[in-house]
Amino acid sequence: MPLFNLWSSSSSAPTVSQRPLAPRLTPPPHHQDWQDIPSPEAQVPQSPASTEDDIGFERLGDSQVDGAREVRRLERTLAQTQEHNIKLENQLSGALEAQKKLEEERDGLEAKVNELRRRSRGEKDRLKKGGVDAIPGSFPPADSSLKEENERLKAQLQQETQKTNLVLDEIKRERSQLRADREALRKGINEADS
């Protein structure tokens, strides 16, 4: 659709002019270094060697695309593994704190056991000094309660030690799994890069 000049120069009111607006066309400048571009319709005969090169290039392109996909997949896997590592490190630090508390409790229990042993020995010595021979199993009721408390504390100490050992074994397994995952990722990234 042609454009029309809507404004006339003689009056301020717009009037439709029937003269179409057209751009001025000037011939393009010509330079001796410029080359003519052949039209797309022109058929250029291709040699068999160039056809083989194109096929080789396409295959190379496909392998590059596959390699890029593999690299992206490995990067996602690496990111997920790093997040998992952070979670495991947080769990590890929590387990180490729990282990520290358990060790403190164990030390406290050992101190109680040692105190009970000291008191028990003191009671035995007092009985001997008082002229009463201590016959095994014939201690006064106070000594039997101390012995029961001693046994209870020993059992509790063994339970806490077993719990601590289980936690430490789990931490060792997780660390070895993390190392194996990290090595597999490094190997995959190195293979994708080469």
pLDDT in tens, 135-173: 555 555 556 777 888 888 889 889 988 988 898 899 889
Q: What is the pLDDT of residue 58?
A: 47
* 103 and 161 Cβ atoms separated by less than 8 Å: no
DSSP H/E element including 179: helix 141-193
Cα dist. 129→72, 126, 134, 146 in Å? Answer: 83, 5, 10, 20
Whether the model clears a pTM of 0.75, i.e. scores above it, the answer is no
Q: What is the pLDDT of residue 186?
A: 86
Which region, left, alpha or beta, applies to residue 16 given φ > 0 means left and ψ of -120 to 50 means alpha? beta
Q: What is the pLDDT of residue 138?
A: 53
List, in order, residues 6 or more apart from 156 with CB less than 8 Å away: 109
What is the torsional sign of CA 33, 37, 42, 45?
positive
> What top-level class would CATH report for the domain 54-129+140-193?
mainly alpha
> Partners of 20 in the beta sheet?
4
pLDDT digits (tens, 9 = 90+) for 92-109: 888 888 888 888 888 888
Q: What is the mean pLDDT of each run of 10 residues along the chain (194 residues)?
A: 52 61 64 62 54 48 70 88 87 86 87 83 71 53 75 89 89 89 86 77
